[in-house]
Structure 1
Amino acid sequence: MTSLATQSEGRSFSVPQTQFFDLGSSEAEPWRVFVHVPPGEAPAGGWPLLVITDGNAMMATAVDALRVQSSYPMGTNVGPGVIAAIGYPTDDAYDPLRRSFDLSPPPGQSYPPFFEGGPQVLTGGSQRFLDFIEGEALPFLDGLARIDPARRTLFGHSFGGLFALHALFSGCEAFSRYVAASPTIYWEGAGLLDSERRFATEHREKDIVIHLSVGEYEGDALAPFQYGREDTEKRLSNARTARTLELTREMAARLSTLPRTRVCCEIYSGETHMTMLPIAVSRAIRMAFEIDAV
């Protein structure tokens, strides 16, 4: 019997209702913005919007999660909306050099190259990246689809979670919801905590929602499969330095005491820093596109 696969050539696959655009000034390398706009007419107030960092790695998962969940709103409490995932002009999941700069708060530092002969790794560019999002990406999205300015959510994982918290604590008013998964709070002397302290003293005119999450194995214990390997001790040392589980829990507790602030913190059982990513994406979808707020 001849299979159908042998009778036709394979075809490329694309994510439905999704395009990408390269945006940015001529003075800097462009960012690649992946955009999903659902079919049909926008609601009277416009579509809710989810903006995601590390767009190359996140977009397909996010769109599929939204399409599935919004198809069964009675079982998910999720409706349709616009997703904009910001990444780089590459076919790889990440651009390590550019994301290191874009997603880390100032003042930043310089680090040895990722590989021999490569460029130095620079950090501290998150304000420039935030300026791009607020000044260029959001207006561009408004021209593509009608967006509800009161229902914009920012989501990031790892360095992206650090960036989301930097945006929140720096006084960004472009978003009403911030979703930070496995945020690297400890980064560069945990300078983010200084920003948090200033944020805590400020008066807020609007309500905000903050969702923090972390994997079970981002604390003192590694995942079972990570023991007995040649890199076990290095991983344990890195985990003790990052203290992602501990610092995320502590931050959630502090933020939950602030007025006009709704905070949720979840610990994903059985997950590591990287395996928790699809769960975090799905949760960001639910936070951004919930129909009835709870």
Structure 2
Amino acid sequence: MNQNASADWVETSEAMPGIRAFIIEPPGLGVALRVSIAQAAQPAVGGQSDALDAVLYATDADYLFGTVANSARVGSFGGEVAPAVIVGIGYAEETGDLRFVSQRRFLDFYRGPRRSFDAGAYGSFEFGGADAFLDALRDHIVPMVERHVPGIDPARRVLLGTSAGGHFAAYALAKDPAFFQGYAMMSPMLVDPQPLVGGKVSQSSGVGAMVRLIEDLPEDALPPGLRIFLSAGDREEDPGSMFADYRIISNALHMRSVLARRGIDTEFVQFAGESHGSVTGAAIGRALRFLLPPAGSRPDWQAALAASER
């Protein structure tokens, strides 16, 4: 063999085996989405395999899809997480430098009214389009995925979001509580952000408006069988940190208390030494283990829902 010969370098359209991507432009959203789908992995040895797979929908796919998909597939292969199809929702216009998503996500993930937000040195953002994004998810993305991907159990849908995506997950819970059976709100912005006043965050920006939204729901609004994961890094409220004034830890704990009083199965994890950005990988792993437990170690969501209808 000639050690000096160069190996061929051939580009392929498939970034990783078992992952496909589609473009969809839902009516009324005003932007095209890139939907990435990772097939479920089955346990390597032992463990029970379900006839149907759970499905997890992850917002912020331009940031998170690879981490979520790989964590889920390795966890399933090792028998610690139930086999699940992972669906990442990103933006067709994002080119890889995160400039597009860093602007657009604020419009899609925060509830209305539609408004501009001046973040000082960070620029200006549009907020308030969560209703249109939720409609796109429920009416177009979920039906498309579950129609074209065989073997999905629609009774085991999970929604995962971080930061602004955690705000959206809380809003989706309030608007249509039974559409997903599991929710991950990681480092969630459970507030309605207000423009800076004199270059500073106003006191009202830290008020947990999304917690109040859940608290004010009718007593029977949240169906039995829901599982909700909340998390934060323990440095997220450190004085001087970028997100300190938004009380991410405090509001997440308050949200957990509100949910627990309604009998919802929750888990809250506060990760030592982690900030708003650094905590994401650890939080994803714990969220998957809580929301997608393997067969034989999870509650029967369908039985819980059936019991509530009797």
Tell me whether the two structures share a fold, i.e. TM-score over 0.5. yes
Quote the Cα distance in structure 2 between the aligned partners of 1:5 and 1:140.
47
Equivalent in the alignment of 1:58: 64
What does residue range 33-182 of structure 1 map to in structure 2 within 5 Å? 33-38=35-40, 43-44=50-51, 46-73=52-79, 76=80, 78-89=81-92, 90-92=94-96, 94=98, 95-112=101-118, 121-145=125-149, 146-182=151-187
Contact 1:114 1:121 in 2 (8 A): no
Partner of 1:269: 272
Q: Name which of 30, 33, 37 aligns with 2:32.
A: 30
Distance (Å, rounded) in 2 between the aligned partners of 1:3 and 1:113: 57
For residues 115 and 30 of structure 1, the distance between their equivalents in structure 2, rounded to whole angstroms, comes to: 28
Q: Which residue of 1 aligns with 2:230?
A: 212
- The structural deviation recorded for 1:5 is 10
Deviations 1:128-153 (A, max 9, x none): 11111110011101122232121110
- Taking structure 1 as reference, are residues 54 and 205 closer, same or farther at Cα in structure 2, changes over 3 Å only? closer
- CA-to-aligned-CA distance 1:54-97 (integer Å, 9 cap, x gap): 01111111121122111111xx2x13210111010123264122
- Output one character per residue of 1:140-199: Cα deviation in whole Å (capped at 9) or x when no partner: 011222321211100000000111011112233210111100001133344323312222
CA distance in 2, matches of 1:111, 1:53: 21
Aligned-residue Cα RMSD (Å) equals 2.8
Aligned partner of residue 60 in structure 1, secondary structure: helix
CA gap of 1:115–1:92, structure 2 versus 1, over 3 A, is farther
Cα distance in 2 for residues equivalent to 1:290 and 1:4: 51
- 1:192 aligns to 2:197 (yes or no): no
Q: Secondary structure at the match of 1:106?
A: coil
Secondary structure of the residue aligned to 2:153 is strand
Shift in alpha-carbon separation, 1:200–1:184, aligned structure 2, 3 A: farther
Q: Displacement, 1:273?
A: 0.4
Report the Cα distance in structure 2 between the residues aligned to 1:211 and 1:164, rounded to whole angstroms.
11
Q: Return the alpha-carbon distance in structure 2 between the equivalents of residues 284 and 205 of structure 1.
A: 20
Q: Is the 8 A contact 1:48 1:289 kept in 2?
A: yes
C-alpha separation in 2, matches of 1:274 and 1:34 = 23
User: SS state of the match for residue 216, structure 2?
Assistant: helix
In structure 2, relative to structure 1, the CA distance for the partners of 1:56 and 1:265 (3 Å cut) is: same
Q: 2:250 aligns with which of 235, 246, 250?
A: 246
* Cα distance in 2 for residues equivalent to 1:266 and 1:52: 19
For the 8 Å contact 2:41–2:84, the answer to whether it is kept is no
CA contact (8 A) 1:151 1:288 kept: no
- SS of alignment partner, residue 261 of structure 2: coil
TM-score using structure 2 length: 0.78
Report the 3-state secondary structure (helix = DSSP H, G, I; strand = E; otherwise coil) of the residue aligned with 1:256: helix
Deviation at 1:205, TM superposition (A): 4.1
1:11, CA displacement in angstroms? 5.0
SS of equivalent to 2:31: coil
Q: Does 1:283 align with 2:286?
A: yes
Determine the C-alpha separation between the residues in 1 that align with 2:40 and 2:266.
28
Residues 24-58 of structure 1: CA deviation (Å, up to 9, x unaligned): 23652211111112368x943x3100000001111
CA offsets per residue over residues 206-241 of structure 1, 9 Å max, x none?
3211110000111235xxxxxxxxxxx4x3xx4431
What do residues 4-34 of structure 1 show as CA deviations (whole Å, max 9, x unaligned)?
Answer: 9964437567122111111123652211111
**89-98 or 242-251, which moves further after superposition?**
89-98
What is the correspondence of 1:1-20 to structure 2 with a 5 Å cutoff? 7-9=7-9, 14-20=15-21
Task: State the Cα deviation string for residues 93-138 of structure 1 (Å, max 9, x = none).
Answer: 641221010000112421248889x9x5211111111111110011
Structure 2 residue runs of 5 or longer lacking an equivalent are 43-48, 194-204, 300-310
Aligned mates of 1:112, 1:220 — CA distance in 2 = 23
The residue type paired with residue 267 of structure 2 is C
Q: What percent of counterpart residues are identical?
A: 25
Q: How many residues are aligned here? A: 271
Return 59-68 or 160-169, whichever deviates more: 59-68
Further displaced range: 17-26 or 122-131: 17-26
Q: Structure 1 10/163 Cα, relative in aligned 2: closer, same or farther at 3 Å?
A: same
Q: Which amino acid aligns with 1:65?
A: S
